[in-house]
Amino acid sequence: MNQSVIQRLFSRPERYGFFQAVRLLHRWFSQQERLHGPAVFEQKLKFRNALSMSFPASEVAAFDVKLHPRDDDSPPNPGPLPRPQDIARLEMTPAFMGLLGAGGALPLFYTELFSRRETYERDFAGRAFLDIFLHRSVVLFYQAWRKHRLAIRFEDDPKHQFLPLVLSLAGLGHPALRDRLRAREGGVSDFALAHFAGLLQQRPVSATTLRRVLASYFGVPVQVEQFVGRWFTLPRENQTQLGLGGAGLGKGAVTGQRIWQRDLRMRLTLGPMSAERFRRFLPGGPGALALEELLTLLCGTTLEFEVKLALQAQAVQGTSLGGTSALRGRPGTSLPGPARATPKRLHSAVPPPQRGGVRAATRPGSRDQPLQGRQHPHPGAQREPARAVRARVAHRLLRHPQPTHPQCPPAAGLAHRRKAQAIGLPWQQALRQVQAR
């Protein structure tokens, strides 16, 4: 707590309300003296009856500080505010309730009697006796005031008083369900779940709710794309085979080994974000682990997610010799260090690079010699010889000798002739060869 607030309370107590003043003193002693709950009122703070008959200017009529007797060997107080260990008792006189005073419960005769004894006879026993009953009444009144104010109870013991009440709104208030998502680094705390308790209780969770929760927790823009299609390989026991029952047409028969589904995957786009935050969302990072925990809590375990990270333009580093901005073929995403585990339900929207990828192709000297070093789009196919290519082009020219064919665009015939010239075969000669056959 800021010491200047307590210093202003000690110097000008009339500027504070009663509940605010007691609340500040309670927190101050709890932090400095490690006193909690009723121990503050039993050892440090006392409430007294008012003897004044004038109109009270504030809720706090008087505020007195009683210090312990100072020894000669004790160090002096360095500041204007007394240290908590030097305070023997704080005496506060509330002006709105009591047994004596202008608004007291007893007749004014007792106020005049005790005031005359204290002034002329220095007898404080009568007032001290009535303070015993007032102190207990004011303490109960203050505890009843803070009992039904959840924000005030959060200051005393947030983990055991306020937090279970809020988590119960989302079905997570049972002690066995506490701190389940903090078992590893990057886990989600119960305070974060309590912040989203109103949204977590909604079932099913909409895409808008998912976007709002993720954007608020991670502090980055989030876009959610639903119904992302993907091929799913069927287990062998679920494939249609001869000799097996339960494969009725239109009921359970499936053709092939895989099916295309759009209801089992979503795509999340996070960013643009800074480079430091970008690294936290890499596979195995604390951001990726927290994202997996939140998605499991919100959407269950039946959906898969593609995660697409967007880096800010000013954070993109160019490739340079000796640098680490582009490692293992994925610029800006592969960092040196131990291998990181990827969550099973999170998939990268960018496919990983294949080994032996595209290399610089060298154009051969002969037309019949295929290009070396270039990966064919279909690895199982073989390159067609140049002679077969010429024959195929000649057949196309025979079928479409003019560029104005009714079933092809006007430039189709011209494109065939240019292709024949590119491989060294005049298109008129190709036509004559085909016609001679």
The beta-strand segments (E) located in 162-320 are 222-225, 230-233, 258-261, 265-273, 304-311
CA nearest to 332, candidates 346, 354, 314, 311: 311
Q: Quick check: 95 and 54 in contact, CB under 8 A?
A: no
β 222-225/330-331 pair status: unpaired
Q: Which residue has the higher pLDDT, 282 or 39?
A: 282
The pLDDT assigned to 374 comes to: 44
The pLDDT assigned to 418 comes to: 61
The pLDDT assigned to 322 comes to: 72
CA nearest to 232, candidates 209, 206, 262: 262
The pLDDT assigned to 308 comes to: 93
β 258-261/60-67 pair status: unpaired
Residue type present at position 50: A
The 10s digit of each residue's pLDDT in 273-309 is 999 999 999 988 899 999 999 999 899 888 999 999 9
Q: Determine the average pLDDT of the residues in 113-127.
A: 91
167, two tokens: 């988590």
Q: Determine the average pLDDT of the residues in 180-206.
A: 84
213, two tokens: 């929760």
3-state secondary structure of 436: helix
Least confident of 46-50, 206-210, 279-283, 386-390: 386-390
Residue entry with tokens 């204007």: 80
Question: From its phi and psi, is residue 206 left (phi > 0), alpha (psi between -120 and 50) or beta?
Answer: beta
Residue type present at position 270: L
Q: Determine the average pLDDT of the residues in 118-129.
A: 91
Least confident of 62-76, 166-180, 217-231, 278-292: 62-76
Q: What percent of the chain has pLDDT over 90?
A: 27
Q: What are phi and psi of 315, to 5 degrees?
A: -95, -5
336 — pLDDT class (breaks 50, 70, 90): very low
Question: From its phi and psi, is residue 337 left (phi > 0), alpha (psi between -120 and 50) or beta?
Answer: left
CA dihedral sign of residues 103, 108, 112, 114: negative
* Residue 198 neighbours by CB under 8 Å, 6+ apart: 169
β 330-331/326-327 pair status: antiparallel
β 60-67/230-233 pair status: unpaired
Terminal Cα distance for the chain, rounded: 101
The pLDDT assigned to 337 comes to: 38
Paired strand residues for 330: 327
The pLDDT assigned to 201 comes to: 86
The pLDDT assigned to 42 comes to: 78
The beta-strand segments (E) located in 295-410 are 304-311, 326-327, 330-331, 346-348
For the chain, give the mean pLDDT. 77
The pLDDT assigned to 136 comes to: 92
Residue entry with tokens 């690895």: 379
Q: Determine the average pLDDT of the residues in 345-354.
A: 64
Residue type present at position 347: H
Q: Quick check: 233 and 273 in contact, CB under 8 A?
A: no
What is the C-alpha to C-alpha distance for residues 182 and 281, in angstroms, rounded to an integer? Answer: 17
112 — pLDDT class (breaks 50, 70, 90): very high
Looking at the predicted structure, is the pLDDT value of residue 416 above 70? no
What is the C-alpha to C-alpha distance for residues 25 and 29, in angstroms, rounded to an integer? Answer: 6
Looking at the predicted structure, is the pLDDT value of residue 187 above 60? yes
The pLDDT assigned to 228 comes to: 93
How far are the Cα atoms of 42, 145, 158, 277, 437 from residue 155, in angstroms, in the given order? 20, 14, 6, 31, 97
The pLDDT assigned to 179 comes to: 81
